[in-house]
Amino acid sequence: MTHPASGSPTGAPTGAAPAPVPPARRSGPGERGSPRRSSYERWRAPLGSRATALHAGAWWLWALGLATAASRTTNPLVLGLIVGVAGFVVAARRTDAPWARSYGAFLKLGLVVVGLRLLFSMLLGSPIPGTHVLFVLPEVPLPAWAQGIRFGGRVTAEQLVFAFYDGAKLAALLVCVGAANALANPARLLKSLPAALYEAGVAVVVAMTFAPNMVADVVRLRTARRLRGRPTGGIRAVLQIGLPVLEGALERSVAVAASMDARGYGRTAEVPPAVRHTTTVLTLGGLLGMCAGTYGLLAAQGAAYGLPVLGLGAASALAGLRLGGRRSVRTRYRPDRWGARAWLVAGSGAAVAGLLIRAGGVDPAGLHPGVVPLVAPTLPLWPAAAVLIGLLPAFVAPVPPKEASK
């Protein structure tokens, strides 16, 4: 991934991506060609390809870290910062593959969630005591058995602000999931599953590819309706298109199943009966152990033996999975490697999560701005700085190549 020799060391490698220049290594404009440059070249984010691709799990850990952080705060400024960080990384590092286009959909979904939360709060009222009445909706009188439920009535500023904070938290969580979806190919993640779970995973991935295919079918059939001179909107159109779309999906799934069968899906190796039985015992026993352990942890007594039983159960279930993998003859073609960059990406997400959890303990007021009485939220300095760590992937993750986005 060498940069053309004529390019300046601070030049952006590709048009779309911002210049990934670690501040510590920024060299002055006069220092072109100095020995420092080679180390800079070495550390700069490589061009994305199969060989340099970041492990899909790293992206998911990063996104889950941000999501954990978002779940620890209701401060709209911090939440906005988290969404901004996720958005920046997505803008800098996503490819133009079909799965990478989901980010916008998740953003819209987040906005819908906020809107719904506000709407319900207005309609159904809220336990938040408020003094600033904004307006009064006509209240629907409900029968006696529905006491405790209110429909309509007073709407206070406090309750709306509370609902907004709450909705924003959920929206931020969704956006983080959307970012992971846009950055990591879901099928790649599958390659990292244990062999015994592979077949279930394939089913999930094949199912996921059906959504875009069905959307394409709907578009095609709507066009075809137009060709017959029928309106493309309206309930009747939906009904008439619906059946062929489902039919098409069914036919396609049968075709894919035939293709998978003809290409060796589901071939199994002969395993001695002893191994098979051990696998069953280990897996079932492990799952039972995990259930019992969890029950012990949650029950009032028994926390003492809960944890060890849970641990034993988990270990035996894992061993069962591993042994079960022996039945599968599958090998893996170029699985993603977990390298230094993957550690950095996953670590940055974990750091954000850890620091915000810690900040929640130290300064709960900053992360949960009060609603009663109504105060303007302020940006807590240290948690905000911690969230910015989440920007790291925008500089260390491989740059998506231009051709792949065309």
Partner 1 sequence: MIRFEQVSVTYDGAAGPSVQGVDLVVPEGELTLVVGPSGVGKSTLLGTVSGLVPHFTGGTLRGRVTVAGRDTRTHRPRELADVVGTVGQDPLAHFVTDVVEDELAYGMESLGLPPAVMRRRVEETLDLLGLNELRDRPVATLSGGQQQRVAIGSVLTTHPKVLVLDEPTSALDPAAAEEVLAVLQRLVHDLGTTVLMAEHRLERVVQYADRVLLLPARGAAPVLSSPAEAMAVSPVHPPVVSLGRLAGWSPLPLSVRDARRQAAPLRDRLSSVPASEGARGSASRALPGPAPQTPAGLKYPASSAFEARGSGGSAPGSGAAPGLLARLLGRGRPQPAQPAVPAEPAEPAEPAEPAAGETARARNLGVRRDRTDVLRAVDLAVAPGETIALMGRNGAGKSTLLAALVGTLPPATGEVTVGGRTPHRTPPPEMVRHVGLVPQEPRDLLYADTVAAECAAADSDAGAPPGTCRDLVAGLLPGVLDDIHPRDLSEGQRLALALALVLTGRPALLLLDEPTRGLDYAAKARLVEILRGLAADGHAVVLATHDVELAAELADRVVILAGGEVVADGPTAEVVVSSPAFAPQVAKVLAPGHWLTVGQVAEALGAEGTR
| Nearest distance, CB of residue 51 and partner 1, angstroms | 10
| Structure token digits, residue 279 | 């696998």
Q: How far apart are CA 350 and CA 144, in angstroms?
A: 50
Q: Is 97 in the site for partner 1 (CB under 8 A)?
A: yes
Query: How far, in whole angstroms, is CA 101 from its chain's centroid?
Result: 13
Pick left, alpha or beta for residue 12 (phi over 0 → left; psi -120 to 50 → alpha; otherwise beta).
Answer: beta
SS3 state of residue 18: coil
**Among 15, 135, 263, 340, which residue sits at the site for partner 1 (rule: CB under 8 A)?**
263
Instruction: Choose the stretch contacting partner 1; rule: CB under 8 A; options: 3-11, 160-168, 284-292, 332-340.
Output: 332-340
Q: How far apart are CA 279 and CA 379, in angstroms?
A: 53
Q: Is 15 in the site for partner 1 (CB under 8 A)?
A: no
Q: Is 238 in the site for partner 1 (CB under 8 A)?
A: no
| Structure token digits, residue 387 | 């969230």
Q: Is 331 in the site for partner 1 (CB under 8 A)?
A: yes
Sign of CA dihedral 98, 101, 105, 106: positive
Query: What are φ and ψ of residue 14, in 5° steps?
Result: -135, 160
Residue keyed to tokens 């210049």? 19
| Nearest distance, CB of residue 60 and partner 1, angstroms | 17
| Nearest distance, CB of residue 262 and partner 1, angstroms | 5
Q: How many CB atoms lie within 10 A of CB 106?
A: 20
Q: Is 334 in the site for partner 1 (CB under 8 A)?
A: yes
Which residue's CB is nearer to partner 1, number 136 or number 260?
260
Q: Is 243 in the site for partner 1 (CB under 8 A)?
A: yes
| Structure token digits, residue 104 | 């916008």
Q: How far apart are CA 364 and CA 99, in angstroms?
A: 38
**Among 209, 249, 285, 318, which residue sits at the site for partner 1 (rule: CB under 8 A)?**
209
| Nearest distance, CB of residue 227 and partner 1, angstroms | 5
Q: What is the DSSP string of 30-52?
A: GGTT-THHHHHHHHSPPBP-TTT
**Among 25, 32, 108, 267, which residue sits at the site for partner 1 (rule: CB under 8 A)?**
267
Quote the DSSP letter at residue 184: S
Q: Is 265 in the site for partner 1 (CB under 8 A)?
A: yes
Query: Of 193, 82, 178, 92, which is closest to residue 400 (Cα–Cα)?
Result: 92
Query: Of 360, 351, 333, 361, which is closest to residue 388 (Cα–Cα)?
Result: 351
Instruction: Choose the stretch contacting partner 1; rule: CB under 8 A; options: 133-141, 149-157, 172-180, 326-334.
Output: 326-334
Q: Is 229 in the site for partner 1 (CB under 8 A)?
A: yes
Q: Is 203 in the site for partner 1 (CB under 8 A)?
A: no
Which residue's CB is nearer to partner 1, number 258 or number 379?
258
Q: Is 233 in the site for partner 1 (CB under 8 A)?
A: no
Which residue's CB is nearer to partner 1, number 32 or number 230?
230
Amino acid at residue number 96: D
Q: Is 204 in the site for partner 1 (CB under 8 A)?
A: no
Q: Is 98 in the site for partner 1 (CB under 8 A)?
A: yes
Contact predicate 287/313, CB 8 Å: yes
**Among 73, 126, 185, 348, which residue sits at the site for partner 1 (rule: CB under 8 A)?**
185
Residue keyed to tokens 């336990």? 127
Q: How far apart are CA 281 and CA 270, in angstroms?
A: 19
Q: Is 135 in the site for partner 1 (CB under 8 A)?
A: no
Q: Is 212 in the site for partner 1 (CB under 8 A)?
A: yes
Q: Is 262 in the site for partner 1 (CB under 8 A)?
A: yes
Q: Is 299 in the site for partner 1 (CB under 8 A)?
A: no
Quote the DSSP letter at residue 154: E
Q: How far apart are CA 240 and CA 228, in angstroms?
A: 13
Query: What are φ and ψ of residue 47, in 5° steps?
Result: -70, 135
| Nearest distance, CB of residue 328 and partner 1, angstroms | 8
Q: Is 319 in the site for partner 1 (CB under 8 A)?
A: no
Q: Is 194 in the site for partner 1 (CB under 8 A)?
A: no
Which residue's CB is nearer to partner 1, number 174 or number 182?
182
Which residue's CB is nearer to partner 1, number 218 or number 315?
218
**Among 134, 255, 362, 385, which residue sits at the site for partner 1 (rule: CB under 8 A)?**
255
Q: For binding to partner 1 (CB under 8 A), which residues are involved?
A: 49-50, 97-99, 185, 187, 202, 205-206, 209, 212, 220-221, 223-232, 240-241, 243-244, 252, 255-267, 269, 329-334, 401, 403-404
